[in-house]
């Protein structure tokens, strides 16, 4: 892991497998603890943020190869695999582990097709597709568990909000000076934004402490993460000013 001394290059990347393992452990813990915490479910919100980071990292590893299709396509494709398996699995009350493994298999199969049949020649294709699909499945499974009823009404919003949170960190920081550390900080910021949105929706469905708690926890996370992200931005940006003209052509 990088120690934070290097500026633009960001040091060695955190391996995506490590991020994925963390996300799957905390994510599964969060999903299984949902049943016990009842109204205090908001304390589990921080446990789901690693899954956002892991999927954003999956998008980053895939899209940085230049796939011939937009970053957004990767993001919404990965989330579609995760979301479709979870939505189908929830109908029969499958165990979350089965759903997530199905998503993992779905991502891997698509990756193998892309690698072997279409011949993409991207070394990380299979691994990252599987990670992306499984991490988004973890997120969607957790979010779906937050709502006791009317949950199928929220499926479209869950799908598309998670898609944006997953693809935006890399899409938003794309450029020559992009690096993993800043992208992942942005992904944390957006993870907290997304959970806050679902807290708000929960608050509208049941005006209770739970929804308010989710918003509060997310806001705390947002305050911490946006500082971390802004520190990185200030360190890496060429310059900031309130107003002015570009020097080169003026």
Partner 1 sequence: MDPVTAMFLIIAGGVLVGVCVHFIPASAVGAMSASTGIATGPSMLSFGAGLSGILSASFALDSGLAAMLASGAAGSTLMVVLTILGGNLVNAFGTGVPPVSGQTASGQSVLGSSTKDAITGWEQKPFVTPGTDGHGMPVQTAISGVIGGIIGGLGGAMVFFGVQFMFVPVSQEAAGLSGMIAAGIFLINCVLPAYTLVGKTEGMFDRKMLRVPKTFLSCLIVSTFLALIIYSTSTYASMGAT
Partner 2 sequence: MLQLLLLGSALAGLLAFLAAIFENEDSDAGSASNPNSQVQLAPQIEHLHRYYNKAIAGEPPQNALWAALAATIAYILYSRLGMDPIPGVILGSVLGALIASLLQGMYGSLAHISRIASMKNFKQMLYWDSLLSPLPLSMTYTFFSALCLTLLSFVIHGLLGSPFPVPLIAMFLGFTLGAIASSTGDVHYGAERLYQHYTFGSGIAISKQGDIDVKGEYGYRNSVDTPYFTLRFGGPVTGLTFGLLILIDTLSRTSGSVWTSVILEFSIIALILIFIIYLEKYTRDRYGPFEEGK
State how far the alpha carbon of 60 is from the alpha carbons of 86, 170, 187, 222, in Å.
Answer: 23, 6, 11, 22
Of 15-23, 42-50, 80-88, 218-226, the segment contacting partner 1 by CB under 8 A is: 80-88
Residues present in the chain in total: 250
Binding residue for partner 1, selected from 19, 24, 51, 102, defined by CB under 8 A: 102
Residues that bind partner 2 (CB under 8 A): 8, 70-73, 75-76, 150, 152-157, 159-161, 163-164, 167-168, 171-178, 182, 186, 189-190, 193, 197, 200-201, 204-205, 229, 232-233, 236-249
When CB distances are held under 5 to 8 angstroms depending on the partner's kind, the choice from partner 2, partner 1, none that residue 84 binds is partner 1
In three-state secondary structure terms, 167 is helix
Give the burial class of 210: count Cβ atoms within 10 A of its Cβ; 0-12 exposed, 13-18 middle, 19 or more buried: buried
The answer to whether 140 contacts partner 1 (rule: CB under 8 A) is: no
Question: Two tokens at 233?
Answer: 């931005």
When CB distances are held under 5 to 8 angstroms depending on the partner's kind, the choice from partner 2, partner 1, none that residue 92 binds is partner 1
Shortest approach of partner 2 to residue 42 CB, angstroms?
A: 19
Angle (CA) 226 182 237, round 5°: 90
3-state secondary structure 6-62: CCCCCCCCCCHHHHHHHHHHHHHHHHHHHHHHHHHHHHHHHHHHHHHHHHHHHHHHH
When CB distances are held under 5 to 8 angstroms depending on the partner's kind, the choice from partner 2, partner 1, none that residue 242 binds is partner 2
**What residues make contact with partner 1 under the rule CB under 8 A?**
67-70, 72-74, 76-77, 80-81, 83-85, 87-89, 91-92, 94, 102, 105-106, 109-110, 113-114, 117-120, 152-153, 155-156, 159
């Amino acid at each position: 892991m990088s120690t934070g001394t290097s500026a633009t290059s960001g040091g060695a990347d955190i391996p995506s497998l490590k991020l994925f393992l963390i996300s799957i452990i905390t994510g599964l813990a969060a999903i299984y603890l949902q049943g016990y915490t009842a109204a205090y479910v908001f304390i589990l919100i921080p446990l789901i943020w690693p899954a956002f980071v892991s999927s954003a990292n999956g998008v980053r590893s895939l899209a940085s190869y230049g796939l011939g299709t937009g970053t957004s396509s990767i993001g919404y494709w990965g989330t579609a695999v995760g979301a479709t398996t979870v939505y189908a699995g929830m109908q029969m009350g499958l165990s979350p582990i089965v759903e997530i493994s199905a998503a993992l298999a779905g991502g891997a199969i698509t990756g193998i097709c892309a690698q072997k049949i279409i011949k993409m020649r991207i070394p990380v294709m299979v691994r990252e597709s599987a990670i992306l699909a499984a991490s988004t499945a973890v997120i969607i499974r957790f979010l779906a568990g937050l709502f006791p009823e009317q949950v199928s009404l929220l499926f479209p919003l869950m799908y598309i909000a998670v898609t944006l949170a997953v693809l935006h960190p890399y899409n938003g920081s794309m450029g020559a000076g992009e690096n993993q550390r800043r992208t992942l900080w942005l992904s944390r910021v957006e993870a907290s934004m997304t959970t806050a949105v679902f807290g708000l929706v929960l608050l509208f469905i049941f005006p209770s402490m739970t929804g308010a708690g989710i918003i509060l926890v997310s806001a705390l996370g947002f305050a911490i993460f946006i500082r971390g992200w802004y520190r990185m931005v200030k360190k890496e940006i060429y310059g900031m000013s309130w107003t002015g003209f570009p020097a080169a052509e003026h």
